[in-house]
Amino acid sequence: MGKLEIKADRYDFKEDIDYKMRFPNGLSEKTIKNLSDIKGEPNWMKEFRLNAYRFFSRRPMPSWIDGLDQLNLDDISYFALASEKKSTSWDEVPQKIKDTYDKLGIPEAEKKALGGVEAMFDSTVVYNNVREELKKEGIIFCDTDSAVKDYPELVKKYFGKVVSPNDNKFAALNSALWSGGSFIYVPKGVKVKLPLQAYFRINAANLGQFERTLIIADEGADVTYIEGCSATTYSKESLHAAVVEIIAMKGAHVKYITIQSWVCDVFSVSSKRAFAYENAYVEWIDANVGAKLTAKYPSVYMLEPGAKANILSIAFADKDQHQDAGAKAVHLAPATSSVIRSKSICLNGGRTTYRGLVKIPRGSRDSSTSVTCDALIFDDYSRTDTYPYMEISEESADVSHEASVGKIGDDQRLYMESRGIPENEGINMIVLGFVGEFVKELPLEFALEFNRLIKINMENAVG
Amino acid sequence: MENRIDIEKLSVRIKEKNLLREVSLHVKTGETHILMGPNGSGKTTLARAILGDKRYTVTEGRIEFNGADMLKLKPHERARMGIFVSFQEPVTLQGVNTLSFLKASYESINSTKVTMSEFKNIVGKNLQRIGLPESVNERYVNEGFSGGEKKKFELLQLLLLKPKIAILDEIDTGLDLDSMKVLSNAVNEMLPETGFLIITHNDRILKHIKPTLVHVMKEGSITRSGGLELVEEIEKGGYKIG
């Protein structure tokens, strides 16, 4: 292992931004109307938002997620505008905002390894650019606000169709208040060789960030999308509530990678779902590090024969953090298959929960699912729970499920130390080994970044 | 250069239980000490105290390496000085690749950096010698290893790390005859540079190794020290001697 230079403040720094606009805390129908007016949206979208808001108002807070009751929706501002302009060149991005992304290494990664980048700062997208050769192939990658204006047909056809605004309280909240996020369309047969990346940053305190992403991979298309998220410790009690919708048409492949590294006080409650049609393959590779509470269960609905799902998640919970993460695979056609792997690490009293649902109804013949949950626990006061629900009513289904809880005991630390490996380095090796399966799924640049993220968190946690 | 470890009137406790009472033992380069004794007599406790396992509290006495106090040092610092303590029950490290583990250990103890391909060569030779397949390199540390394989893996580390003082805690248990031969050859070969303290239940190892001294431990104390004749006594009368 090479020595990586570790700076604990790599993600945790704040820029003093002169905000152009910030909504007062609290939420009402007026907030929604204001937002829609500022955006100059068509009426149908305004109606969509208002309907969603009405549903949201009627729904109670989900009680089954421990810790969500600490979220006070009246203490949050629902829109903060740091820059009025969206640029296609980093040079045009206001200096302080650009500094943030420089520190996060985004422009550098863009040059080396990405096909396109979008940067969202608090409530709006401040930068978006796509390589020329990708544009020539008809690939669209822009923020969702622009898509409403520039590609109304596509948006109208698919927006809110995978995750209905009435799906759950937080999907409704996002549908009412969404701002920013990515819109991607990959035409028939086009394979995007370099990944596309969006980076979501929360800089303001007490902010609600409502990223809205829609990815459409047409027949035979192939795309990898990477979502990075981070915030500063100053952005206390903020809420990130995303809705992500993916449509993978016949034979398409979509790989969606999330590297979420929120600081302690962020609540992250997202609805992520994909529709996979005939022989399509959808992968959710999801890393959750930090956040006061994460509630996120990426789903794949396999709607036609031969569709496949791969859902791999990593959760890392330190003191005062709860990662409630998991996966959902719904087999609605014959010969569909899903693989779900969950790996979680908890220490210093942190808590991880795996919550999964696999459905194989009668008629989805010759389908298979495999669910594996591994937890690594450091001490007696951390906690891990597993809720792997399976609803299998098709007799021909091939189902497997394994769960394990490992403990990094004194003996393991001592064994490594006895061979000259210092305790911290030993723990790092164990943790990086544990998450190795996840890291293998990442493009190289991000694998390095992820390992660095884990090391920083381990350094902070173990000291 | 001659190295030595001096254990001077060492008393050790775990929680409220006294496990060692005033144990003294001196091992230096070129010497092989054999420590025998019934189960629970404190042999492993001594190994753990030398290793620096903080669950064991040293209440009295000293452990010195070349005249310098070792007791305040952390286990990895002791290892870096050249002390190797093998584990009676080697620990599984899930997800940690054997080769990366060995390399980290090798680099730390030798304060050096080697490339992966160089290191593979170094390991490869030793693997062959011990009779472990090359495929061990692809596995996780001790995961799914048989009892014998685990002991061979300890032996591999002994060969790789070339310690100045080696404490081998029942490394011979579970080893087949061929591996026993490798072990005794290794000990004899390393002797000019290394001092050995070998904890064993088994006189098989003494076929090819000439001990400097044999010690018998009972109820936390070394009750007798002497030559091979002690081993014969034990064979005849068990640990009633002393």
**Residue B170 is assigned to a structural domain of this protein:** yes
Give the model's pLDDT for residue A2. Answer: 29
Q: Does B93 touch chain A (CB under 8 A)?
A: yes
> Which residues lie closer than 8 Å to A334 by C-beta, 6 or more apart?
A305, A363, A364, A365, A366, A367
Give the model's pLDDT for residue B241. Answer: 59
Give the model's pLDDT for residue A3. Answer: 30
Cβ–Cβ of B93/A406 closer than 8 Å?
A: no
CB burial class (10 A; 0-12, 13-18, 19+) of residue A397?
Answer: buried
Mean pLDDT by 10 residues, chain B (242 residues): 95 93 97 94 96 95 96 96 96 91 96 94 92 92 93 95 96 88 92 96 84 95 92 81 55
* Boundaries of domain holding B191: 4-88+159-240
Q: Does B75 touch chain A (CB under 8 A)?
A: yes
- The residues of chain A scoring below 70 in pLDDT are 1-13, 233-236, 263-264, 462-463
Q: Does B62 touch chain A (CB under 8 A)?
A: no
Give the model's pLDDT for residue A1. Answer: 28
**Residue B191 is assigned to a structural domain of this protein:** yes
**Residue B118 is assigned to a structural domain of this protein:** no
- Tally of domains in chain B: 1
Closest chain A residue to the Cα of B90, Cα to Cα: A415
Q: Does B171 touch chain A (CB under 8 A)?
A: no
Tell me how close the Cα of A341 comes to any Cα of chain B, in angstroms: 15
Query: Residues of A with CB below 8 A from B79's CB?
Result: 417-420
Cβ–Cβ of A422/B109 closer than 8 Å?
A: no
Give the model's pLDDT for residue A264. Answer: 67
Cβ–Cβ of A429/B101 closer than 8 Å?
A: yes
State the CATH number of the domain containing residue B174: 3.40.50.300
Cβ–Cβ of A415/B96 closer than 8 Å?
A: no
Give the model's pLDDT for residue B234. Answer: 84
**Residue B102 is assigned to a structural domain of this protein:** no
Query: Residues of B with CB below 8 A from A410's CB?
Result: 55
Has the ipTM of the complex gone over 0.90?
Answer: yes
Tell me how close the Cα of A91 comes to any Cα of chain B, in angstroms: 41
**Residue B130 is assigned to a structural domain of this protein:** no
Give the model's pLDDT for residue A359. Answer: 98
Query: Residues of A with CB below 8 A from B55's CB?
Result: 410
Give the model's pLDDT for residue A10. Answer: 58
Tell me how close the Cα of A407 comes to any Cα of chain B, in angstroms: 10
Give the model's pLDDT for residue A235. Answer: 55
**Residue B141 is assigned to a structural domain of this protein:** no
**Residue B166 is assigned to a structural domain of this protein:** yes
**Residue B29 is assigned to a structural domain of this protein:** yes
Query: Residues of B with CB below 8 A from A405's CB?
Result: none
pTM across the whole model:
0.82
Count contacts between A and B (CB, < 8 Å): 76
By Cβ distance, the residue of A418, A432, A433 closest to B85 is A418
pLDDT tens track for B95-154: 899 999 999 999 999 999 999 999 999 999 999 999 899 999 999 999 999 999 999 999
Give the model's pLDDT for residue A293. Answer: 93
